[in-house]
Amino acid sequence: MSEIICDICPHHCHIQEGKTGMCRARTNRHGINACANYGRITSLAMDPIEKKPFADFYPGSMILSAGSYGCNLACPFCQNAMISMADEQSADYQEISPDQLAEIILSQRDNLGIAFTYNEPMISWEYIRDTAKLLKGTDKKVVLVTNGCVTKNVLKELMPYTDAMNIDLKGDAAFYHELHGEYQTVKDTIAYCYDQCHVEVTTLIIPGKNDSIAFIETEAKWLASLDTSIVLHLSRYFLRYQYQIRETDPHTILSLCTAAKKYLKYVYPGNI
């Protein structure tokens, strides 16, 4: 039985024929690394662009948001665990081809475009590419909301079609170990993308995990070394999924925003 090594993210899962990797969305199909959730949409809704969140990308606009199932991280505080931790058997989805999705997007006059979000979109990069190609040359924008744990070969495929990204920077290297992610890969993603499309960064502030002034100053200083105009969102955590940690005090968010503003021009509090 043939085995493949997935090259989509740093896990490099060894996948047997007919099985899926950790993300539950990459499968070994006769020796080919295939997208198992291609066109399988679990959520489709119009959202304010600020909800993604974006503060400096067409503010006041509405955008069609689409998500599938699966994720290549295992965040115990996930806000969308019902789909991000789901697989083919447990997810409730509808099949929407790139042509069908593009038709929906183009038919909506007051729609900015498409945001691939809710679960981790990069594990379905082929579906993003195929849809985005159909929107190239139109006035519709393509937006990715991602954890950033993706290899550069995927980014190279998507950057020609991507107008904006919101990338999570969740914590330090130790915190990423808990989440089954890779801190350096996320930083590499931000560094690679920030001058190729509009990039904003989000950190969900969780008490006892990433809520220290020292961490936020280190994060802000590093982002500023790329560009002091990169937008940083510091969002308030609420009880979700497996974590039983108390919700973040709004005053903590505000004080961390003040610390980050020593290095960055644009820092926004979220969920307060």
Percent of residues, the chain, with pLDDT higher than 90? 97
Q: Cβ of 234: how many Cβ atoms within 10 Å?
A: 29
Query: What tokens does 197 get?
Result: 């499309």
Homologous superfamily, domain 38-270: Aldolase class I (3.20.20.70)
> What pTM was estimated for this model as a whole?
0.97
Q: How far apart are CA 43 and CA 15, in angstroms?
A: 27
* Residue 250 near residue 270 (C-beta atoms within 8 A): no
Which range has the worst mean pLDDT, 1-5, 52-56, 199-203?
A: 1-5
Average of per-residue pLDDT across 180-201: 98
Q: Cβ of 261: how many Cβ atoms within 10 Å?
A: 13
- Provide the residue ranges of all domains of the chain, joining segments of one domain with +: 38-270
* Residue 44 near residue 64 (C-beta atoms within 8 A): yes
Average of per-residue pLDDT across 39-44: 98
Percent of residues, the chain, with pLDDT higher than 70? 100
The reported pLDDT for the residue numbered 47 is: 97
Q: How far apart are CA 111 and CA 58, in angstroms?
A: 11
Q: How far apart are CA 180 and CA 72, in angstroms?
A: 8
The reported pLDDT for the residue numbered 240 is: 86
The residue among 223, 224, 61 whose CA lies nearest residue 143 is 61
Confidence of residue 16 (pLDDT cuts 50, 70, 90): very high
Is 175 a residue whose pLDDT tops 80? Answer: yes
For 271, which DSSP code?
-
The reported pLDDT for the residue numbered 45 is: 97
The reported pLDDT for the residue numbered 18 is: 94
* Residue 200 near residue 231 (C-beta atoms within 8 A): yes
The reported pLDDT for the residue numbered 233 is: 98
Is 1 a residue whose pLDDT tops 70? Answer: no
Amino acid at 115: A
Residue 14: half-sphere exposure toward Cβ, Cα within 13 Å:
3
Amino acid at 249: D
The reported pLDDT for the residue numbered 10 is: 97
Q: How far apart are CA 103 and CA 134, in angstroms?
A: 9
Burial class (CB in 10 A: 0-12, 13-18, 19+), 179: buried
Q: What is the DSSP string of 5-35?
A: E--SSTT--EEEBT-B-TTSSEEEETTEEEE
The reported pLDDT for the residue numbered 261 is: 98
Confidence of residue 2 (pLDDT cuts 50, 70, 90): confident
pLDDT digits (tens, 9 = 90+) for 46-79: 999 999 999 999 999 999 999 999 999 999 999 8
Average of per-residue pLDDT across 132-160: 98
Is 186 a residue whose pLDDT tops 80? Answer: yes
The whole-chain average pLDDT of the chain stands at 97
